[in-house]
């Protein structure tokens, strides 16, 4: 029991720290997606693996493994390895192959331990509160101060290329939190908001309800301040989906989430109007980039469809649509295998975790960070592993 609690606690710390991009660069590159780095969360995961091995050795052999899930997972790692072998840059390819192995181990740890739901939702909710606080601070300060220890890069609205919203008043910096882009911050907060709502449904105590209520309101504000169109659309869709899935019992907290989101959006109406109408040159350029990405992805898939170009080798800016990005990088067979694994995990419907997995799938329709950012990729596979766990 002691080792189990230590394992659960270390995983909770790992989840809480996933947004922090503290890392040591092992091999620099002008392409940000080909930088080889060791993250602080990788070190924490080594601790998790040691505790998991001890726990696995000491516990009675009563766990039923999901054999089909493990076969799909092993096949995916093999396909990523084959794609890496044929890629142009072997060092980068080997790095991403190691990442795929790490993601598989994350999935296996989740599958074989399957901690109770609060061990996932509490660190997510806590992380969401911290990130929402950072977004508030950065937005009202209109700057992000650099801190190499925390993995924060300096950002100012006057700097060319920094994500901003342009209005008649001037340029407004979109806050980053501790993430490398505001869209990633928005997507993470959507996941955290869904986790906060789960506290209302699964914990009937009065203080749990208060915590869920306050957390949902603050995280909703953070989602608004990220000014991420994709994150906002997924947030509204998931609020409706949760009501349909869980019925009247969840309605009070959903109402609070919806009203608070609308109030915060109304408070920043001019900025959101600029994001939605997309009439200024910054938004037009952003939309043109996404259009160009859709035009560029098809020739790549047609040329490399059996094996892909290799993870981290998509040129130059990854398409903001994860299914096609996966097909381009590890091939059609790899993409089919991965989404078969996802579908197989959803078949098991492990409590509220399936809702989080569906949220991830929807976020992947609007951006690429769930595949290109190690911390997001690892969380995705952890949630897949939890869904694969047979309870």
pLDDT digits (tens, 9 = 90+) for 205-240: 788 889 999 999 999 999 999 999 999 999 999 999
Mean pLDDT of 292-300: 93
> For 252-273, what is each residue's pLDDT tens digit?
999 999 999 999 999 999 999 9
**Average pLDDT in the 100-126 region?**
93
| DSSP H or E segment with residue 39 | strand 36-39
pLDDT tens per residue, range 115-132: 888 899 999 999 999 999
pLDDT tens string 172-205:
999 999 999 999 999 999 999 999 998 887 777 7
The percent of residues above 90 in pLDDT, for the chain, comes to 75
Q: What percent of the chain has pLDDT over 70?
A: 97
Instruction: Enumerate the H helices of 59-181 as residue ranges.
Output: 67-86, 90-113, 118-141
CA distance 173 to 176: 9
Structure tokens at 304: 């490399």
Confidence of residue 314 (pLDDT cuts 50, 70, 90): confident
Residue 14 near residue 48 (C-beta atoms within 8 A): yes
Give the pLDDT confidence score for residue 71 in this predicted structure: 95
Collapse the DSSP code of 174 into the 3-class scheme (helix H, G, I; strand E, B; otherwise coil) and give the result: coil
Q: Which residue has the higher pLDDT, 63 or 111?
A: 111
State the pLDDT at residue 61. Answer: 59
Confidence of residue 351 (pLDDT cuts 50, 70, 90): low
Tell me the C-alpha distance between 210 and 247, whole Å.
20
């Amino acid at each position: 029991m002691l080792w189990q609690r230590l394992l659960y606690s270390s995983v909770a710390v790992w989840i809480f720290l996933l947004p922090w991009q503290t890392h040591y660069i092992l091999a620099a590159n002008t392409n940000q997606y080909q930088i080889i780095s060791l993250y602080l969360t990788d070190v924490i995961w080594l601790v998790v693996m040691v505790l998991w091995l001890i726990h696995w050795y000491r516990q009675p052999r009563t766990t039923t493994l999901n054999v089909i899930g493990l076969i799909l997972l092993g096949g995916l790692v093999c396909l990523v390895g084959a794609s890496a072998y044929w890629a142009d840059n072997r060092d980068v390819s080997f790095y991403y192959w190691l990442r795929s192995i790490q993601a598989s181990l994350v999935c296996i740890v989740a599958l074989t331990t399957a901690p109770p739901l609060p061990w996932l939702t509490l660190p997510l909710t806590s992380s969401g509160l911290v990130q929402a606080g950072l977004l508030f601070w950065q937005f009202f300060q209109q700057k992000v101060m650099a801190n190499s220890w925390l993995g924060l890069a300096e950002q100012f609205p006057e700097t060319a290329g920094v994500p901003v919203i342009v209005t008649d008043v001037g340029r407004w910096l979109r806050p980053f939190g501790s993430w490398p882009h505001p869209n990633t911050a928005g997507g993470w907060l959507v996941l955290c908001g869904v986790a906060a709502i789960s506290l209302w449904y699964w914990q009937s105590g009065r203080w749990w309800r208060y915590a869920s209520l306050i957390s949902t309101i603050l995280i909703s504000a953070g989602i608004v301040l990220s000014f991420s169109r994709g994150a906002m659309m997924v947030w509204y869709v998931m609020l409706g989906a949760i009501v349909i899935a869980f019925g009247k019992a969840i309605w009070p907290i959903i109402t609070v989430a919806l009203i608070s989101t609308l109030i915060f959006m109304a408070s920043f109406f001019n900025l959101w109007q600029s994001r939605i109408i997309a009439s200024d040159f910054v938004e037009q350029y952003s939309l043109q980039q996404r259009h160009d990405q859709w035009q560029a992805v098809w020739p790549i898939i047609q040329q490399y469809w059996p094996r892909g170009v290799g993870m981290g080798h998509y040129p130059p800016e990854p398409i903001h649509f994860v299914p096609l990005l996966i097909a381009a990088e590890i091939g059609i067979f790899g993409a089919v295998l991965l989404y078969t694994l996802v579908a197989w995990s959803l078949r098991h419907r492990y409590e509220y975790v399936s809702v989080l997995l569906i949220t991830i799938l929807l976020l992947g329709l609007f951006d690429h960070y769930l595949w290109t950012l190690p911390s997001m990729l690892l969380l995705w596979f952890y949630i897949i592993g939890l869904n694969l766990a047979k309870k």
